[in-house]
Structure 1
Amino acid sequence: MRVVWFGILSAVFLMAPAADAADVAAGKAKAEICAGCHGDNGISQMENIPSLAGQPDQYLQWQLVFFRAGSRKNEQMQPIVEQINNEDIRNLGAYFASLTPPKSPGDDDPDLSKKGAQAAAGRRCASCHTDSYAGTKAVARLAGQREEYLVKALHDYRTSQRVGGAGAAMAEIAYSLSEEEITALAHYLAHLQ
């Protein structure tokens, strides 16, 4: 009898629609408000504003939760995150994750990239961000991100202006970086494909 009930319950759960499934189309509609800063298709054209296209879904969701909870602060983001609910967050994460990441510009300073690669290897950045720096799960994609934004993010971690998620690990890493290493690391990562 237990086997029969288990079989029936399994069938019910398998046939039931996933209540928490993200809706990419709804995320795209909600993302219209994001385009003003983060660009069409999630590729930023504004200084110090990150591109969101191709970021891991969970990473995006957590950042929105951190903004909404107030642990991450940004004057432009606060009024927006006050208007979104958990379903919107799931949908936005799925939408931006589904987009093609930005193409990195041609590397105009390969020597600086070499120094950046050395800084990344010395800090074991790939152990969290993956060997391709494409990120995974709740860890950010760094490859192809805006260079000046990466510099800003590292400075924000170093000065504890940015918290949330792996904030403690990032603060420790960023604190040990020299200005020259921050510049080189940002250049290297921004020019990865």
Structure 2
Amino acid sequence: MRIALVGALSVAILCGSFAHAADVAAGKEKAELCTGCHGEAGISQIENIPSLAGQPDLFTQWQLVFFRSGSRKNEQMQPIVEQISNEDIRNLGAYFASLAPPKASKPDDNPDLSRKGAEAAAGRRCASCHTDTYVGTKAVAGLAGQREEYLVKALHDYKSGQRSGGAGAAMAEVAYPLSEEEITALAHYLAHL
């Protein structure tokens, strides 16, 4: 009976998701709310605010769901996510995924630090989730070209347990043993990819 119920629910969810295909144009229109912080075309110019351009569709959707549910907290995001529907979330995910991801904002001024970051990434097997090019996939964040100080903040938040939701358990396990030097090196390396 349980198997039949799970099967029926799965079919209903799948059919429902096909009936509500994302509308990139509607996502672009809704994203006007986001440009003040996340920047034109999803490229942030503000410290500790992530760029959303090129993030995998499902990653953006899940983050919005986590903010809306309160499992991920941010004072600026809370009033915004309270106003968005599930359809808006689907459309925003599709819109940001359709944009060109950020490129490293400046040449790597510290290749030794990047080398240490690459070693830390390999040692922590970051590519096993974030892909070999660190562009992310499905519900896993793209890290390449992301703002360096934001990556430091995100790693600290995972390490302290302040950030949860989605891959929170996996990221906490990876981030907790990182030293400050490794966090700095990882963020520098990823931001300059």
Question: Which residue in the other structure is 1:99 paired with?
Answer: 99
The alignment partner of 1:138 has SS state of: coil
Q: Distance in 2 between matches of 1:42 and 1:67?
A: 18
Q: Distance in 2 between matches of 1:177 and 1:97?
A: 30
* Paired AA for residue 33 in structure 2: I
Runs of at least 5 residues in structure 1 that lack an aligned partner in the other structure: 1-17
For residues 26-37 of structure 1, the aligned pairs below 5 Å read: 26-37=26-37
The alignment partner of 2:19 has SS state of: coil
* Paired AA for residue 190 in structure 1: A
* Paired AA for residue 127 in structure 2: A
Runs of at least 5 residues in structure 2 that lack an aligned partner in the other structure: 1-17
Question: Which residue in the other structure is 2:82 paired with?
Answer: 82
Cα deviation code 1:46-65 (max 9, x no counterpart): 00000000000000000000
Cα deviation code 1:115-147 (max 9, x no counterpart): 000000000000000000000000000000000
Question: Which residue in the other structure is 2:66 paired with?
Answer: 66
- TM normalised by structure 1 equals 0.90
For residues 164-179 of structure 1, the aligned pairs below 5 Å read: 164-179=165-180
Question: Which residue in the other structure is 2:4 paired with?
Answer: none
Residues matched between the structures, number: 175
**1:157 equivalent in alignment to 2:176:** no
For residues 44-63 of structure 1, the aligned pairs below 5 Å read: 44-63=44-63
Computed over aligned residues only, the root mean square deviation of the Cα atoms, in angstroms, reads 0.5
For residues 110-129 of structure 1, the aligned pairs below 5 Å read: 110-129=111-130
* Paired AA for residue 174 in structure 1: A
Deviation of the 1:103 alpha carbon:
1.3
- TM normalised by structure 2 equals 0.90
Structure with the greater alpha carbon radius of gyration: 1
Question: Which residue in the other structure is 1:184 paired with?
Answer: 185
Deviation of the 1:85 alpha carbon:
0.4
Identity of aligned residues (%): 83
The alignment partner of 1:183 has SS state of: helix
* Paired AA for residue 135 in structure 1: G
